[in-house]
């Protein structure tokens, strides 16, 4: 550049006009924690349920994370330490039954499955068996508190005996079975030895929900006897379930005597021995699960914050068990 000359300044690129806001909502990525908001007509070949393709696909995920509201008599149902959310049971009922389907819960507790059938869209008919009159009375209180929900039948008695009553419950009389049985025999301690109860309240657990009835599986004394009792129950469920009908078994694994028990696997094997076919599992995590420092600070002891929903099916053809 010559002295006194002017420095050439490169021409500026024309300023870009500000981008216009799109009038269309951006595509929303799949949300694993919430179902599609709107229900559409189901596929004409869908003979299993009343769901459209999006809701069907959402249900088939193998992991379920939930945070359900406290509703439908939760203040009453929470007396039972392992009561199941009606919204979870609603989802199971809606996937495995059609509008006219009939549902059974042979370990009904305080009636989470019955409420789930009542709030299903549309409501389904349901029957519950419960050996402990205390829990059946809680369901009666919930039903009285919510007269807007369709009433369901709760039968007090031993499920193995009731399932063997072919006159009252003939072969194939239920379209779907959903249940949350005892996870083991009742033990005063499972995750810890009680050493720190006085000083560490968060190491103490109390899940005593059994009855005084000797036929209550939680009173069977040993884990092997408990599994034998569950197999007998599975045989009864097999009989009353219609061919090709499904069973959803909710179960939590256990840690006792320093050993982790794969309870859901043991129960699936016993169900298979009774004639049912394992079809899959859903790992269910309910947010807000309380963490307890069981092995701290010397050993690994898991905080079991998840449960399994084991899916089984009765074969279409006849099968001897």
Q: What is the pLDDT of residues 265-316, one digit of tens each?
A: 999 999 999 999 999 999 999 888 889 898 999 999 999 999 999 999 999 9
pLDDT at 196 over 60: no
Residue 55 pLDDT level (bands cut at 50, 70, 90): very high
Q: What pLDDT, on a 0 to 100 scale, did the predictor assign at position 73? A: 82
pLDDT at 18 over 80: no
Beta-bridge partner residues of 155: 129
pLDDT at 17 over 50: no
**Average pLDDT estimate for 216-226:** 90
pTM, two decimals, is 0.84
**Pairing outcome for strands 254-256 and 259-261:** antiparallel
Residue 210 pLDDT level (bands cut at 50, 70, 90): low
Return the closest-CA partner of residue 276 out of 227, 224, 225, 239.
Answer: 239
What's the CATH number of domain 53-289+297-313, 2.160.20.10, 3.40.50.150, 3.40.47.10, 3.40.80.10? 3.40.50.150
Q: What pLDDT, on a 0 to 100 scale, did the predictor assign at position 225? A: 95
- Average confidence score pLDDT of the chain: 85
- The separation between CA 171 and the C-alpha centre of its own chain, rounded to angstroms, equals 26
Return the closest-CA partner of residue 94 out of 133, 126, 136.
Answer: 126
Return the closest-CA partner of residue 249 out of 236, 268, 233.
Answer: 268
Q: What pLDDT, on a 0 to 100 scale, did the predictor assign at position 20? A: 43
Q: What pLDDT, on a 0 to 100 scale, did the predictor assign at position 203? A: 45
Q: How many CB atoms lie within 10 A of CB 31?
A: 9
Report d(CA 198, CA 24) in Å as an integer.
60
47 contact partners, CB below 8 Å, separation of at least 6: 98
Return the closest-CA partner of residue 76 out of 140, 128, 131, 130.
Answer: 140
């Amino acid at each position: 550049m010559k002295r006194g000359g002017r420095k050439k300044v490169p021409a500026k690129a024309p300023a870009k006009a500000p981008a216009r806001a799109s009038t269309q909502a951006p595509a929303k990525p799949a949300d694993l924690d919430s179902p599609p908001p709107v229900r559409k007509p189901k596929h004409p070949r869908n003979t299993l349920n009343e769901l459209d393709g999006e809701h069907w696909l959402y249900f088939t995920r193998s992991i379920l994370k939930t945070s359900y509201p406290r509703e439908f008599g939760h203040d009453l149902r929470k007396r039972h330490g392992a009561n199941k959310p009606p919204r979870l049971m609603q989802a199971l009922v809606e996937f495995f039954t059609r509008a006219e389907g009939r549902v059974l819960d042979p370990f009904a507790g305080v009636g989470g499955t019955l409420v789930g059938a009542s709030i299903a869209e549309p409501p389904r008919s349901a029957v519950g068996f419960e050996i402990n009159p205390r829990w059946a009375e809680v369901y009666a209180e919930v039903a009285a508190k919510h007269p807007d929900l369709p009433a369901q039948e709760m039968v007090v008695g031993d499920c193995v005996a009731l399932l063997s009553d072919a006159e009252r419950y003939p072969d194939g009389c239920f379209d779907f079975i959903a249940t949350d049985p005892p996870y083991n025999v009742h033990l005063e301690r499972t995750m810890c030895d009680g050493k720190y109860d006085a000083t560490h309240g968060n190491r103490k657990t109390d899940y005593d929900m059994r009855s005084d009835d000797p036929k209550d599986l939680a009173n069977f004394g040993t884990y092997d006897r408990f599994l034998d009792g569950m197999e007998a129950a599975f045989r009864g469920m097999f009989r009353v379930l219609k061919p090709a009908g499904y069973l959803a078994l909710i179960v939590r694994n256990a840690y006792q005597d320093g050993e982790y028990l794969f309870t859901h696997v043991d129960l699936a094997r016993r169900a298979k021995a009774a004639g049912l076919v394992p079809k899959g599992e859903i790992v269910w995590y309910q947010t807000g699960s309380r963490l307890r420092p069981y092995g701290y600070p010397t050993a690994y002891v898991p905080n079991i914050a998840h449960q399994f929903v084991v899916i089984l099916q009765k074969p279409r053809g006849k099968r001897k068990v």
